[in-house]
Amino acid sequence: MNLVVVGAQWGDEGKGKMVDYLSEEAELVVRFSGGANAGHTIKVEDKTFAVHLIPAGIISPGKTVVLGNGMVIDPASMFEELAGIASQGIDWEGRVVVSDRAHLVLPGYKSEDRTIDENRARPIGTTGRGIGVAYGKKASRDGVRVADLWDPVVWNALSKSDREWLEPFKERLASMKVNLADFMMKNQDKNILLEGAQGALLDLDHGTYPYVSSGISTSSGAAIGASIGPRKIDKCLGVLKAYQTRVGNGPFPTEMLVGDDAELAKTIRELGHEYGVTTGRPRRIGFLDLVALKYSGWVNSLDGFILSHLNIYDGFESLNVCTAYELDGETIDYFPANIAELERVKPVLKTFPGWEGKVGDARKWDEIPAAAKKIVEFIEEYTGVPVHGYSVGPLRSETFMKVEPWTVS
């Protein structure tokens, strides 16, 4: 079975934790997009792991993880990350494979990335890790793939400094690289977890362009980035938070900016530890946006949501969710493509009362407070996507599924 997990918002929804949790029943975990601009945090008992390039499934003992051909890989960052988790007791040797069709991020790409963004009329606020440059060179057919390190024509066309930088990584990559299509064919009868990066609203085609990532972060990217056909995908799950966050520039219709909303944003940021894993930047905070969420459910063909961070509202008197936008005096219920329109819209908010008891104490659906269940049911009705699971804290044990994930919908 092939199970896809993607972010249903602007990233940072808790995908890494859910991939770690779902890896327990997976035999392979394949990351299908992105690069070192991603950041996943996984807490296991008293240890906290932060991964950027390596699939989050690596924390589960005995699982094989794959860096797919939809990724762009900085080999220095990758081996540094592997050394870091090894120092925390994770034995990764023999469990990490790399698609030989994945593109590489070379040293000069990072400064080029920063320079491009600084000179943009509309700076995107990139992480400066060379991701966009690598994807750009891939599209223009000027990129360098893992397989190309053993192609004398490509190798000799590289600058001397790039060859010297890459040389120490060649031998290590030689034992890790695979022809991914062949590898996936040979493993097709296994439970395979397909791990996305960023979120649907940062997708190159479906996100808030140009304020997006350069890769495919919707579920359709799983087929391309994992070397399987789209009909091989059995189920798609989208992770969302009970509020919105965003890092970097770009429109954010429900952002909490002024007055009491700004104070609420500060409170949620601290309660939810909303700072970037990769950059450390404070995340922008907004009300849960059901207009954007319904759109995300559609473009990802989601079978179910996994709802995280609802426990952050434990003890609150009330909370708001966005059910429509007001655009130039008209009420709309769709997610506009036009950035100027997205920047002008005002959220139409619906207020729900808080609850007695704690979502954070729940370990099954029946233990969620009644008023919190009303919000979940409203999300399901509005979006047409059922909530299959819950993350009510940072630990594996603070996770439960209402619907069995490893069954075909």
- Which active-site residues does the annotation give? 12, 40
Q: How far is the C-alpha of 193 from the C-alpha of 110, rounded, in Å?
A: 30
Q: Which residues contact 356 (CB under 8 A, 6 or more apart)?
A: 369, 371
Q: What is the DSSP letter of 403?
A: S
Residue matched to tokens 């779902």: 22
Q: How far is the C-alpha of 6 from the C-alpha of 11, rounded, in Å?
A: 9
Question: Taking Cα atoms as reference points, which of 103, 86, 194, 85 lies closest to residue 149?
Answer: 103
Q: How far is the C-alpha of 100 from the C-alpha of 146, rounded, in Å?
A: 5
Q: Could you tell me whether strands 177-178 and 235-241 are parallel, antiparallel, or unpaired per DSSP bridges?
A: unpaired
Q: What is the DSSP letter of 170?
A: H
Handedness of CA 137, 138, 142, 148 (dihedral sign): positive
The alpha carbon of residue 395 and the mean position of all alpha carbons in its chain are separated, in whole angstroms, by 18
Residue 384 to residues 104, 219, 293, 310, 347: CA-CA distances in angstroms? 39, 17, 10, 19, 20
Q: Could you tell me whether strands 346-353 and 284-289 are parallel, antiparallel, or unpaired per DSSP bridges?
A: unpaired
Q: How far is the C-alpha of 115 from the C-alpha of 137, rounded, in Å?
A: 16
Neighbouring-strand partners of residue 400 = 390
Q: How far is the C-alpha of 375 from the C-alpha of 321, rounded, in Å?
A: 9
Q: Could you tell me whether strands 72-73 and 47-51 are parallel, antiparallel, or unpaired per DSSP bridges?
A: unpaired
Q: Which residues contact 386 (CB under 8 A, 6 or more apart)?
A: 304, 305, 380, 403
Q: Which residues contact 346 (CB under 8 A, 6 or more apart)?
A: 253, 325, 326, 327
Q: Residue 360 corresponds to which tokens in the numbers above?
A: 């954070």
Q: How far is the C-alpha of 163 from the C-alpha of 252, rounded, in Å?
A: 42
